[in-house]
Amino acid sequence: MNVSLLIDFGSTYTKLVAVDSDAREIIGTAQSPTTVETDIGNGLLNARMQLENAVGAIKIASIRACSSAAGGLRIIVSGLVEELTAKAARLAALGGGGKILKVLSRKITNADLEFIESAQADLFLLTGGTDGGEEKCILYNAKLLAESNLSCPILIAGNRNAADECYAILTGAGKQAQICPNVLPKLDELNIRPVQDQIRKTFLTQIVHAKGLSRMESIMEDIAMPTPVSVLKALTLLANGTSETPGFGPLIAIDLGGATTDVYSIADGMPMTTNTFLKGLIDPTEKRTVEGDIGMRINIHGILDAVGADRIAQIAETSSEEVRNWAASVGNRHEQIPRNDFEKRLDRAFASAAVQTATIRHAGTIEETYTPTGPIFIQEGKDLRTVRKIIFIGGALIHAAEPQKIAAFGTYSKEFPKSLRPQQVELYTDKKYILSAMGLLSETDPELALHIMKKEIIHA
């Protein structure tokens, strides 16, 4: 056997997937709680023991890993105009696998500076202005950061005409700084790939070590990328296929966790009719958003705030009081799981509300307006109405009762007619938690990774 061991050091669990390249199949999976607070190797060793107890002793030919342990890559973003450079920087940070702590626009205020100095970010992404455009804001912000107690690396990805001066200001004050190409070189041109690549390199060279994950040097050398990047790579491969094998086509994936909800879309999302006009930036084909206020345990009250107890009670066919009681219970005891049919119904209602909120925030919107020549439509963000596949990731969705009913809350509804979400979908699930592993495998053998995903990502 030619076995590759693919490891995902998650914030909660360390997950292993063993792949036999010769047999072109997964020979085993295992997971164990991540032990980042003590020694990350303990969780890995426990998972490895589980794996070998199930499939026998394995001779490993290669190891690759990804990680979101210790909270992942915490990023603060600043830009000039909220709808333009700040949005471009946000898309770059999320696509690079980051967890955004705050997005700032215009000049940094005293209140902003207090947050920056206390937030313990892992990276600051400094943007602002198109190339040859406004320079004062990014230079002002660079000077404030230079005078601050911010100690994390600063990535400069704004107006190229001001980048060298920003670099001189920051490094002259002893800050770690690096210049990247502008995330928005022109008003209608998004250029986020170089920043995403640099975020990944920063994660590998500095963040892993800064978080103490380097206690197992031999394994840490095999960490290839942040977990969200690996998942995005896998989904992109699954959607697009290879030159030899077709993929699924456009898709959406939803990862509902205890603290956050990630939504991925692999689709161009461009206007579908000649009388529809795009407003603002064109979203990337490979898009990831993170709702940091919505989760099934730690941030269950975020779901409550976003949707309201009455609406969740309507979904669960119970009272608002019972909804609030459930939120209070699992909010205090994050490990609590539903024990009976009634609690399962409550949990499903919260999951449905989370999926609804996260997909509405991810998808674009459309507005009808009238002109002397007739009606036209103004689209902001991605049009996902023709996407036909949704993939559920994560235990809250994979193990939910009646997942198809939850998936329906990620599609078009008369309640939110302006939201450009899918009109009808087929539901698939990542029951073996393999997507992050397949993103790793795709870098060395994309054909094998696609073959395994098409076999293991199953129709619900």
Nearest to 276 by CA among 381, 360, 172, 135: 381
Rounded CA gap, 291 and 70, in Å?
18
- pLDDT of 281: 80
CA–CA dist 150, 103 (Å, integer): 16
Question: Is the sign of the CA dihedral 408, 409, 411, 415 positive or negative?
Answer: positive
pLDDT at 263: 95
Q: Which amino acid is at 26?
A: I
Cα-based angle 293, 296, 300 (whole degrees, multiple of 5): 55
Tokens of 424: 């009808």
301, 289 contact by CB (below 8 A): no
List phi, psi (to 5°) of 155: -100, 120
Backbone phi, psi, residue 141, to 5°: -65, -35
For each of the chain's 460 residues, which pLDDT tens digit applies? 789 999 888 767 788 999 999 999 999 999 887 765 555 667 778 888 888 888 888 888 888 888 776 556 788 999 988 878 788 888 888 877 777 888 898 999 999 999 999 988 889 999 999 999 999 999 999 999 999 999 999 999 999 999 999 999 999 999 999 999 999 998 878 888 888 888 877 776 655 554 555 555 555 556 778 888 899 999 999 999 999 999 999 999 999 988 889 999 999 999 999 999 988 888 899 999 888 888 888 889 999 999 999 999 999 999 999 999 999 998 888 777 888 999 899 999 999 999 999 999 999 999 999 988 889 999 999 999 999 999 999 778 888 888 999 999 999 999 999 999 999 999 999 999 999 999 999 999 999 999 999 999 988 8
DSSP string, 352-395: HHHHHHHHHHHS-EEEEEEETTEEEEEEES---TT--EEEEESH
CA distances (Å), origin 187, targets 91, 183, 279, 325, 448: 15, 10, 11, 48, 40
Non-local (6+) Cβ contacts of 339 within 8 A are none
Nearby residues of 401 by Cβ (< 8 Å), 6 or more positions away: 344, 345, 348
Query: What values do phi and psi take at 329, rounded to 5?
Result: -65, -50
Predicted confidence at residue 169, as pLDDT, reads 96
Query: Which among 122, 240, 138 is positioned nearest to 179, based on CA atoms?
Result: 138
Strands (E) in 269-362, as ranges, are 276-279, 286-291
pLDDT score recorded for residue 190 = 83
pLDDT in tens, 95-146: 777 778 888 989 999 999 999 999 888 899 999 999 999 999 999 999 999 9
pLDDT number for residue 41: 66
Question: How far apart are alpha carbons 215 and 132 in whole angstroms?
Answer: 45
- Regarding the domain with residue range 1-69+215-221, which homologous superfamily does it belong to in the CATH classification? ATPase, nucleotide binding domain (3.30.420.40)
3-state secondary structure of 25: strand
Rounded to whole angstroms, what are the CA distances from 366 to 126, 271, 377, 382? 31, 10, 6, 10
Q: Where are the domains of the chain?
A: 1-69+215-221, 73-207, 251-297+351-429
For the stretch 400-411, pLDDT in tens is: 888 999 999 999
Would you say domain 73-207 falls under CATH 3.40.50.360? yes
Residue count (the chain): 460
User: In which element (H, E) is residue 200 found?
Assistant: helix 193-202
Confirm whether 1-69+215-221 and 73-207 share one CATH topology.
no
End-to-end CA distance of the chain: 31
